[in-house]
């Protein structure tokens, strides 16, 4: 069976650990496990099944792409939901992430055509829990997270390729963004 890959931005410390602690808190309270199988991240290319030879081609393409991009800042603030199944930290300053996403899709169209076209709107976010949240616990979580606050700003300096090993997502390679001018 083809492997499952995704491409993401990972926040650096201390934001990484802060978001990870929130994911662990929701996991401990609800038993939701899907979101703790992947570190805190902003998805650029959603999960896609690809044959074995894709990884080497993807690494070449992502390395070339990353070299053309510059580091930038991302702001995150508070919490939101996709329906009743996905709790996330909201990206409050998303323009740079959206620009990177559009540039990556354009790059892939030329340099990595195996990447399928997007089928859903791109909404940058940091997932805390998804899909396997017990429905009975959602109203209390919604109420609690509506009253909680969280804010951080972090520098995006790289992109990361992940492959699913059958149990969890494993970082395969990280690509540094070009040096700022």
Residue ranges and CATH numbers for the domains of the chain are 3-176 (3.90.1140.10)
pLDDT at site 120: 87
Predicted confidence (pLDDT) per residue in 118-154, tens digit: 888 999 999 999 888 999 999 999 999 999 999 999 9
Q: Which of 48, 41, 30, 137 is nearest to 88 (CA)?
A: 41
Pairing of strands 3-9, 151-156: unpaired
Can you tell me the distance from the alpha carbon of 95 to that of 88, in angstroms, rounded to the nearest whole number?
18
Predicted confidence (pLDDT) per residue in 50-61, tens digit: 998 999 999 999
pLDDT at site 33: 85
Q: Is 163 within 8 Å of 170 (Cβ atoms)?
A: yes
| Residue 100, C-beta contacts closer than 8 angstroms, at least 6 positions apart | 9, 44, 69, 72, 156
- Which of the two residues, 34 and 39, has the higher pLDDT score? 39
pLDDT at site 179: 59
């Amino acid at each position: 069976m083809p492997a499952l890959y995704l491409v993401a931005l990972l926040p650096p410390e201390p934001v990484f650990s802060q978001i990870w602690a929130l994911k662990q808190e929701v996991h401990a309270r609800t038993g939701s496990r899907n979101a703790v199988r992947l570190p805190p991240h902003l998805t650029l290319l959603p999960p896609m099944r690809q044959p074995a030879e894709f990884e080497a081609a993807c690494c070449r393409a992502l390395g070339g792409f990353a070299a053309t991009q510059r580091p930038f800042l991302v702001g995150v603030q508070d919490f939101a939901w996709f329906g009743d199944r996905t709790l996330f930290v909201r990206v409050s300053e998303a323009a740079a992430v959206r620009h990177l996403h559009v540039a990556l899709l354009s790059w892939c169209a030329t340099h990595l055509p195996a990447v399928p076209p997007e089928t859903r709107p791109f909404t940058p976010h940091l997932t805390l829990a998804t899909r396997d949240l017990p429905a009975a616990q959602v109203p209390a979580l919604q109420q609690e997270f509506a009253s909680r606050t969280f804010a951080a700003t972090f520098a995006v300096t790289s992109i990361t390729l992940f492959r699913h090993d059958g149990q969890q997502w494993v970082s395969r390679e990280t690509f540094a963004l070009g040096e700022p001018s």
